[in-house]
Structure 1
Amino acid sequence: MQQIERGGRRYTLSSDPAALDVDAVHAMLSRAYWCEGIPREVVAKAMAHSLAFSLWCEEAPRRQVGIARWVTDRATFAYLCDVFLHEDHRGLGLGDWLVGQGLQHPDLQGLRRQVLFTADMHALYARHGFTPLKTPERGMEIVRPNLYKAKA
């Protein structure tokens, strides 16, 4: 568990799955552009099968205000996704700290490849060594935009 002070508040970061507040994570992710409207049960399943980091504001009332999740085999590959900070805690460098601390986790060391997708936070991830895809022509994907909105 790591701690940092920013903006006069103390924050704690944990990778303990028991520390996750699935309701808080769902509240944040359900309004994120990449998974707007995601059902709570999908969030719970995703968190349970990933290496997830929860960011807590220790100011009363103590609450989870951030998340970062790596989907990984913990041997060769990881996909960084669902990096989200509650709007009231942005602009303090917490996202940068969250990603940096997560990348130091023992299960993310020695991997052959880590990837992520972002619409607007390229500079943040570049500070941590992420670069544009070297061979995008090798990649393929199945994309279902607005998947969760359609089920609402």
Structure 2
Amino acid sequence: MTLRAVYPDGAFGEYVFTADKKRIDLEYLYNLLCIPSRYSTGLPPERFPLVIENSLCFSVFYQGRQIGFSRVISDHSEFASLWDVFIDEPHRGKGVGQALLKYIFEHTRLRGIFRWFLMTEDAHGLYQKFDFKTEIYNPYIMMKVNLS
């Protein structure tokens, strides 16, 4: 697949990409990711800043307003896990999500990572363009425990 280039300055047409956490609109993100919705984690507001602080975060801006986001959890050597990829509805279908993923995978702190993980309910087609596979190839099983 051929993507339109993400320009060296972190732009894609009128869209600007950044990993600068100072530019994140925390209220926008909390309302998007934590207020009861399809994407909700149910995370209390006082804990949300820790999610941002302990993740490598990527934001997308259009005309100065945040319209997209994703974050990565990684050891910056062997593995990375992609989380919370989101582009606001009016900006979908324009290649912005693909450009965001390209920006993330080419980020200097993530180059050389050879084991990427993600979970998705409905965006399989997008991630398959980046060689993510839906078939289970590994005998390990993801497990979960809620402590609290």
TM-score range, shorter chain: 0.7 to 0.9
- Give 2:112's aligned residue: 110
- Give 1:53's aligned residue: 58
Distance 1:87 1:38, change over 3 A: farther
The worse-fitting range, judged by mean Cα deviation, of 97-106 and 41-50 is 41-50
Cα deviations by residue, 1:71-128 (Å, 9 ceiling, x for unpaired): 1111111100110112232222211111111111122122231100000101101111
Query: Of 127, 134, 137, which residue of structure 2 is paired with 1:134?
Result: 137
Q: Distance in 2 between matches of 1:108 and 1:32?
A: 30
Distance 1:119 1:77, change over 3 A: same
**Mapped contact 1:17–1:52 kept (Cα < 8 A):** yes
- Give 1:27's aligned residue: 31
Paired residues in the alignment total: 137
Higher helix share: 1
Q: CA RMSD in A?
A: 2.0
Distance 1:66 1:40, change over 3 A: farther
Q: Distance in 2 between matches of 1:143 and 1:32?
A: 22
Identity of aligned residues (%): 31
Matched, 1:3 2:11: yes
Alpha-carbon deviation of 1:33? 2.4
- Give 2:4's aligned residue: none
Q: Which runs of 4+ in 1 moved over 4 A?
A: none
Amino acid at match of 2:116: Q
What are the ranges of 5 or more consecutive residues in structure 1 without an aligned counterpart?
Answer: 145-152
**Mapped contact 2:57–2:69 kept (Cα < 8 A):** yes
- Give 1:125's aligned residue: 127
Normalized against structure 1, the TM-score is what?
0.80
What are the ranges of 5 or more consecutive residues in structure 2 without an aligned counterpart?
Answer: 1-8
Alpha-carbon deviation of 1:34? 4.0
